[in-house]
A and B are shown apart, each in its own frame.
Chain A
Amino acid sequence: MSGQWAWGQLPYAWLGVGALVVLWVNTGLVVLAACRPIAQLLDYRRRFLGGAEGIIVEGEPLARHVIAQNGRRASDDSDRRAIIFHDSDHHGRVAGGVIETGVAQRLEIDGLPNEDIEVWIDEAGRAAAVAKLEEADFDEAYRAAAKASGYRREVCASVGVGCKIWFTDLDPAGRALLANFDPVAWCLRRMVWGMLGILAMIGVLLGVTGLLLQPPIFGPMSTLGGVLGLLYFLLVQPAGVMLRDALAPPSRSMLRGSWAQLGSEGLGATGGQAATKSSE
């Protein structure tokens, strides 16, 4: 720390306290914001616990999770042509069918309106739905992606005969849930991740604060705490957003992705899960 304090100058100690308060308040907001998806997962878990599970015996498909995407031409490089996708809408559709819920127990369900129906399809199911779409003609899609309106597509991940599903009844608000994997365990796992994430944020901040307050204040250890505090401030924000995205239910989590081909020969198309990972 350079220079001696003189009248009229801002004392470094005050500025340090102010910066520390900002760091704590900001982290507090990130943590509070992360509590919201955890509370939502708790509510999902409660609703699924009151539901049932069974095997689809009629209905092809019985339900779908539809992700509307808009693709835009992403590259004019001669060696690689790509379309990048953005999700514009997510919604569920239940067409109806029959579910075997136990020995000699069959449950017939009718088609349901789209609103407030959430269909949770696992990653493999969503990747398969993307791969199926990318069997289409890339050149045609690439041309459409160059237009102002972009290349629009609907990724439909569905569940049909033979699939095991977990589902809830329509609640008084007209909401219903359906999943093709164990949603109760999934919610619990994600809630634990969320809580661990929050604890990690608070733990690291406590460590940084402890280091910052090592005497002599503004000495070498305290300065190391300052460096880490600055890095923490910059990193806790994306960490909060990543946590939010990780805790999003499959009915709302972003698929995005890209569809690329190398050269004009159409080599090296990427699709499904790999495509999603490539751009997220």
Chain B
Amino acid sequence: MRHPSEWRQIGIVTIYIGLLAAMYFVPACRNPLFYAAAFYFSFLNSVVIHNHLHQGIFHRKSLNMGWRLVLSFGALYPASANIPSHNLVHHHFEEDGQPDWADPEIVHFRYNLLNLIHFPNVAGPQTFSGVQRWKAVLKRKPFTRQYYREQFFAFGLTAVLLVHDFWTGLFFVVLPQLWGARGILRINIIQHDGCDLTSEWNHSRNFVGRAFNWIMCNNGYHTIHHNKAGLHWSQLAESHNRDVVPRIDPSLDEPSMFWYLLRTYGFRFLRPTRASIAAAEQEAASLPLASRVDRCTEAAARSGVSGL
């Protein structure tokens, strides 16, 4: 294993798969506690996909590829889709002339809660059609082979469970899987809506609660993750406090995601208007940063796939 902190990610996925297996095979486990936990851990499984596709957990390539199969089953989509959709396209925003497939502006409801609910309905298909285009034209054979292996494993195993017992499989495996997959898409609107995507430091919203970041493997620190995509997730908190805090608008450092969601989607009807948030960045000393495209080339190299 590359880093001792990876045990946390392995633990998360093990618990998640254990919950699904327990609910599927043991009727006594089909209770609200297990069910709620399965939905929550499904989202965390998608967080682990994100981290693993930036930096593989293991030294050995075969183990990393095998781990992707497990993660793909957990989220019911090929984990390798993250390479083009997240590492290469989302991390660039629109700097390279290609619209982000998960741009917060792809949803337009006046009632803001509907934007949050509907977002995966647009971002998901855009992502997968984008990956198909990328895959079809690139003809990257190792990527394509791995992508199909993950698809075969994820859909195949899920299909076996559905054929064996459709309703149990649907309620206790497929619904949690879909929740996690759609949840990780929703994170895009949560972390970027209302931010200044043209700014170097104020393009993302951070959730900085300590407990939240422990279980989320530091995925609350999103600005520094964008700016230093090659940084291991265990180092994000320190780097956030050192480099990001002096340069971002304090409103982009949210203490609690739960409170943010309630405030933004529960207690208000309309979508918040974008405020001028880049003042802190202009006043602070500048830091040398590579272009977004170059940063992503580094991230892509770590994923074992060269950049577009």
Q: Give chain A's interface residues, CB within 8 Å of chain B.
A: 1-4, 6, 8-10, 12, 15-16, 19, 25-26, 29-30, 32-33, 36, 68-70, 72-75, 77, 80, 82, 84, 86-88, 148-150, 152, 218, 223, 226-227, 230, 233, 237-238, 240-242, 244, 256, 258, 260, 279-280
Contact A150–B97 (Cβ < 8 Å): yes
Contact B167–A223 (Cβ < 8 Å): yes
The 8 A-B residue pairs with the shortest CB-CB distance in the complex, in nearest-first order: A70-B97, A88-B97, A86-B98, A3-B27, A238-B125, A241-B125, A29-B118, A74-B137
Which residue in A8, A15, A237 is a CB contact (below 8 Å) of B171? A15
A-B contact pairs, 6 of them (CB 8 A): A9-B30, A10-B31, A26-B117, A29-B121, A72-B308, A148-B297
Q: Give chain B's interface residues, CB within 8 Å of chain A.
A: 27-28, 30-32, 35, 94, 96-99, 107-109, 114, 117-118, 120-122, 124-126, 128-129, 133-134, 136-139, 162, 165-168, 170-171, 174-175, 178, 291, 293-294, 297, 308
Q: A29-B121, A82-B137, A86-B97 are in contact. Are A226 and B308 (CB under 8 A)?
A: no
Which residue in A12, A15, A30, A70 is a CB contact (below 8 Å) of B121? A30
Complex CA distance for A72 and B122, rounded to whole angstroms: 25
Instruction: Name the prevailing secondary structure of the A interface residues.
Output: mixed
Q: A9-B28, A33-B122 are in contact. Are A148 and B167 (CB under 8 A)?
A: no
Which residue in B31, B128, B138, B167 is a CB contact (below 8 Å) of A226? B167
Residues on B with beta carbons closer than 8 Å to the beta carbon of A72: 96, 308
Residues on B with beta carbons closer than 8 Å to the beta carbon of A230: 170, 174
Residues on B with beta carbons closer than 8 Å to the beta carbon of A4: 27
Complex CA distance for A12 and B128, rounded to whole angstroms: 32
Complex CA distance for A238 and B120, rounded to whole angstroms: 11
Contact B167–A8 (Cβ < 8 Å): no
Residues on A with beta carbons closer than 8 Å to the beta carbon of B134: 84
Which residue in B96, B108, B139, B162 is a CB contact (below 8 Å) of A36? B108
Contact B137–A1 (Cβ < 8 Å): no
Which residue in A74, A237, A242, A244 is a CB contact (below 8 Å) of B124? A237
Residues on B with beta carbons closer than 8 Å to the beta carbon of A30: 118, 121
Contact A241–B126 (Cβ < 8 Å): yes
